[in-house]
Amino acid sequence: MNEKFFDLKKEKQDRMINAALKVFAMNGYGHASTDDIVKEAGISKGLLFHYFISKLGLYAFIYDYSVRYIMLELSTGVSKEETDYFGLLLQIKQSQLQVMKNYPYMLQFINKSREEDVSEALMETEDKRGVLPGQYAQIMERAELDRFKKDVDVKKLTKMIEYMADGLMTEHFRNASFQPEIYYKEIVQYLEMMRKLSYR
């Protein structure tokens, strides 16, 4: 990519980033159209390619930018002193809320990228694919599990929570009603319910 992209006004950078995030999140790499991206961003195709050279170059930048941005929010939003399982999850979700306030489609884009099957897109992002899952796992390793009821399988519970959060986000986007604060409020309600069911 052309580093002069970062010389643009922040508002224009974010407009281009958000347009790419939305189109890639909704369509995946293979079906995403640069025509749709420039239309969404309100820029010319020539300007897009001036900074990113190709659709693949744009995708690689957006993926790297998303990973870095989410990692930054997690590093500032999750307390190193927190050891409660649900407390950690709530802080992760709070960090994700901050992400979505600036980039509404960023988490949806990362989720969609897990299903990516176009080899050039996979190869371009291969070295970064384990970064976020690794960071989430590292955070949750701090959780003390002695408050759980004996019959609770924490690994399965964690999977259930992942499916619930992803499904809820997809539902909100499908209904064209996505508002980060409302999504976060619903997540908190589900986590509180699961806490009551799972803890002694």
What DSSP letter does each residue of 173-195 carry, written as one string?
A: HHTT---HHHHHHHHHHHHHHHH
Integer angstrom CA distances of residue 185 from 94, 139, 160, 190, 191? 10, 22, 18, 9, 10
Report the share of the chain in percent with pLDDT over 90: 89
Q: What band does 52 get if pLDDT is binned at 50, 70 and 90?
A: very high
| Residue 3 belongs to a domain | no
φ, ψ dihedrals at 182, nearest 5° = -70, -45
CA 117/CA 13 separation, integer angstroms: 28
Residue 70 domain flag: yes
| For residue 176, pLDDT beyond 90 | no
35 part of a folded domain: yes
Contacts of 81 (CB under 8 A, 6+ apart): none
Residue 162: predicted pLDDT: 93
179 inside domain = yes
* Residue, of 97 and 177, whose pLDDT is higher: 97
In a domain, 2, yes or no: no
Residue entry with tokens 């006004």: 9
- Tell me, what CATH number does 93's domain have? 1.10.357.10
User: What pLDDT does 14 receive?
Assistant: 96
CA distance 73 to 88: 14
Confidence of residue 66 (pLDDT cuts 50, 70, 90): very high
Per-residue pLDDT at 165: 93
Q: Can you give the residue range of the structural domain that contains 112?
A: 8-198
What percentage of residues in the chain have a pLDDT greater than 70? 100
CA distance 198 to 150: 9
Over residues 132-141, mean pLDDT: 96
What average pLDDT does the segment 153-181 reach? 89
Q: In the predicted model, is pLDDT for residue 77 greater than 80?
A: yes
At position 167, the amino acid (one-letter code) is G
Give residue 96's identity as a one-letter amino acid code: Q
The answer, yes or no, to whether residue 1 has pLDDT greater than 90, is no
